[in-house]
Amino acid sequence: MIDLYYSWYSICSEKVLIALFEKGLDFEGHHIDLFDFAQVEPEYQAVSPNGTVPVLIDNGRRVLECTVINEYLEDAYPEPRLTPADPVARADMRYWVQMFQDKVFPAAGVLSQVHFIAAELKRRWTQEELEDRIRRKIGKARIARQLRAVREGFSADDLAVAEEQIVSVLDGVEEALSDGRDWLAGDFSLADAAAAPNVYRFTIIDRNDLLTARPRVLAWSKRLLERPSVVRCYDYAPSVREDAA
C-alpha cells in the first residue's frame, strides 16, 4: 500500500502526483495544509523529519524528496516507463529534472510569494501568529527566508533574479525542442513531470508571458497541461485560488 503525504499548491507534491497517475498506481493521500502550518506539528514531523512535503511510504518504507520519490517509483514500478532507454536521452531527462528543481522551482516560489502566498498566509493568521509558526519550522535558512517574505517581502532585485533563472531554463527548453521533439527527453518522462507543476504555476500567477514568448515552449506547455495525468493532478489537488474560493 502506498501512502502519500502531500499538499495542495505544492509544486513538489504535484510532481509526485503526476508520476503516480502516469503509472496508474493506487495510493492513499494524506493532505498536509501548509497554509495552516500542519507541517510544524510533531505528528507530521514524525513522518517527515524535514517537515516538508511530499513523503511517500510504500509498504512501510519511507521515501523523502520529490525527485528521489519519482526515481523510486520508476525503480519499484517500472511500467509504464518514465525514463528513456537510451543513455544519452536518460542523461537529458536528468538534466531537465535538475534544472526545474534547482533553478525554476525556487524562482517560481519567489514569484508565488509575491502573487498569492504571502497574502493567503496573512489572510489566515495575524502577523504574530504567522511569525511564531514560521519559527517552528525546521532549518534556519528556511525560517529566515520565510520571515523575510512575510515581513518586508521580496525586493525588485529578488524578483529580477528569480525571473532571470526561469528565463534561462525556458530559453534552453526552446532550443532543445527545436529538433522537433514533443517532450524534453523524447517521450514523456520524469523531466516533463518535473516541469509541469512549474508551468502550471506560471498560469495561475498570471505569468503566461513566460510561455507565450517562446513558441515551442508554448506548444509544449499546452501538451503538458492537457496530459491526462496533469489534468488528474489538479482535479485531485486544486490550486490555492480554487481552495480560497
Confidence of residue 244 (pLDDT cuts 50, 70, 90): very low
**Sole residue written with cell 509544486:** 11
d(CA 5, CA 10): 11
Nine cell digits for residue 183: 517532450
> Which helix or strand (DSSP H or E) is residue 140 part of?
helix 140-151
What's the confidence (pLDDT) of residue 242?
46
Half-sphere exposure of 212 (CA within 13 A, CB side): 5
Q: Say whether both 63 and 94 belong to one domain.
A: no
What is the residue whose three cell numbers read 512575510? 150
According to DSSP, residue 6 is labeled: E
Q: Which residue has the cell 492537457?
A: 226
**Do 94 and 159 sit in the same domain of this protein?**
yes
Task: Choose one of 41, 56, 76: the last residue of a domain.
Answer: 76
CATH number of domain containing 30:
3.40.30.10
Which residue, 18, 11, 32, is CA-closest to 82? 18
Judge whether 46 and 38 are in contact, CB under 8 Å: no
* Contact between 190 and 93 (Cβ < 8 Å): yes
pLDDT for 243 equals 47
Task: Return the amino acid letter for 216.
Answer: R
- pLDDT at position 68 over 60: yes
Helices (H) and strands (E) in the chain, counts: 14, 4
Q: What is the mean pLDDT of residues 65-77?
A: 98
183 strand-pairing partners: 186
Q: Does some domain include residue 44?
A: yes
What is the 8-class DSSP label of residue 178? Answer: G
| Domain with 141 in it | 87-244
- Over residues 163-179, the mean pLDDT reads 98
Q: What is the mean pLDDT of the chain?
A: 94
- Reported residue count of the chain is 245
Q: What is the pLDDT of residues 84-108, one digit of tens each?
A: 999 999 999 999 999 999 999 999 9
Here the cell at position 150 is 512575510
192-221 average pLDDT score: 97
* Residues 90, 184 contacting (CB under 8 angstroms): no
CA–CA gap between residue 183 and residue 174 (Å, rounded): 11
Instruction: Give the C-alpha separation, 61 to 15, whole Å.
Output: 20
Other C-beta atoms closer than 10 Å to the C-beta of 153 total 12
Check whether 78 has a pLDDT greater than 70. yes
Predicted local confidence at residue 183, as pLDDT: 98
Picking from 76, 107, 140, the residue at the C-terminal end of a domain is 76
Average pLDDT of 39-46? 92
Is 129 found in the same domain as 233? yes
Q: Among the three residues 76, 96, 112, which one is the final residue of a domain in this structure?
A: 76
Count: domains in the chain: 2
Are residues 116 and 210 located together in one domain of the fold? yes
**DSSP reduced 3-state for 137:** coil
> What are the residues whose beta carbons fall under 8 Å from the beta carbon of 4, sequence distance 6 or more?
13, 16, 17, 20, 27, 28, 29, 30, 54, 55, 56, 57
C-alpha cell at 214: 517562446
* pTM of the predicted model as reported, rounded to 2 decimal places: 0.94
Q: What is the CATH number of the domain that holds 150?
A: 1.20.1050.10
Q: 112 versus 244: which is more confidently predicted?
A: 112
